[in-house]
Structure 1
């Protein structure tokens, strides 16, 4: 495996030195699309949030800043991502507003009806299923809880297809596919904001 391909393979599960470089890069590269997605949450005031696939921890910090009365659990199956997220959010961790765990979205270590809001930024491309993983998210959300998915690739941009050969396990879904997965997982109401110019998606699914 060439160095470039090895580096980008860390998009899925950051590991080692290249993984540390990747998560730092994620915080900068995904800031624009993440902030666009978070702006869709302006009408809600969640008390309990779970950030799934927390990457470099930047989005967890933004959510904690936007919702100062909320507590947040960040989860990732990469040890590198967990450690980076802890570093970025160490103050909120000290203040008991944030906890960071290593875990798998396919088997979330939480009881039913635990969270008001679940978020997934630039990560569902790699989730197993993904209907089964979405079903787990639905399980841990409270009644009327919201699941926010934000993707920088909408499944319609031909230039994104090059990444399928570079990043192992990558799957790029369009809005119809994601909506169907969410319906099959048990979500009752789905709202899609599709920015066709920038080929990005924001999907809000209510339990």
Structure 2
């Protein structure tokens, strides 16, 4: 397995390096994307594919009276996220568990916001996975997707060749999948770096 495969599912020592790199390397993109999200101070938030846990830390600050839960199917990611957010976990404001977006371990209509940073590239069945996100969102809830690649540049092709199982979606493709899952009021934002942010409402 190449080192870059750890972007999909971090494992072992290479995975630990990767999640640390994720926290640092994705911070500017995440900050840009979050400028398009306005969660309520008491929002219940789920971060799917929580990686190294830095985005959960930011979301906890954005929702000072709320709670943030995280899932990732990588044990390495779960361990790192728990360390990064140990204070919030101890305070009862955060939980992190190993799980897959294909079958979210939550009851219906639980969350105000579901976020997905740099992760939908690797979701196995996008249509079904989006339906799962839709299921756990409250009516009027927001699904927030933030990607470093928007599927419109030549460098995107290079990444899909390096990383097995990676698919980079355009905003148009994501919109189609979101609409099929039942989402409405879909908005997309792009910048000159090729970053993409999409928000959709239940």
Scaled to the shorter chain, the TM-score interval is over 0.9
Shift of 1:200: 1.0
TM-score, normalised by the number of residues in structure 2 = 0.97
Does 1:67 pair with 2:67? no
| Aligned with residue 96 of structure 2, among 93, 100, 104 | 100
How far apart are the structure 2 equivalents of 1:141 and 1:46?
Answer: 15
Following superposition, the deviation at residue 128 of structure 1 comes to 1.4
Q: Is residue 114 of structure 1 aligned with residue 126 of structure 2?
A: no
Report how many residues are paired: 202
State how far apart, in whole Å, the 2-side matches of 1:43 and 1:59 are.
14
Matched, 1:50 2:46: yes
Residue 74 of structure 1: how far off its partner (Å): 0.5
Query: Structure 1, residues 140-196: CA drift from partner, whole Å, max 9, x if none?
Result: 00000000000010000112211112111000000000000000111122011122x
- Once residues 39 and 65 of structure 2 are traced to their aligned partners in structure 1, the CA distance between those partners, rounded to angstroms, is 15
Length-normalised TM-score, structure 1: 0.95
Bigger drift between 95-104 and 40-49 goes to 40-49
- Does residue 144 (structure 1) correspond to residue 143 (structure 2)? The answer is no
Distance 1:81 1:170 in 2: 18
Q: Secondary structure at the match of 1:132?
A: helix
Distance 2:81 2:131 in 1: 25
Instruction: Give the RMSD, CA atoms, in angstroms.
Output: 1.0
Name the residue aligned to 2:18: 22
SS for the counterpart of 1:148 is strand
Pairwise CA distance, 1:45? 4.0
- The partner residue of 1:81 within 66, 77, 82 is 77
1:202 corresponding residue in structure 2: 197
Match of 2:154 in 1: 158
Gaps of 5+ in 2: none
User: Where do 4+ consecutive residues of structure 1 move more than 2 Å?
Assistant: 42-46
Deviations 1:41-61 (A, max 9, x none): 236445200000000000000
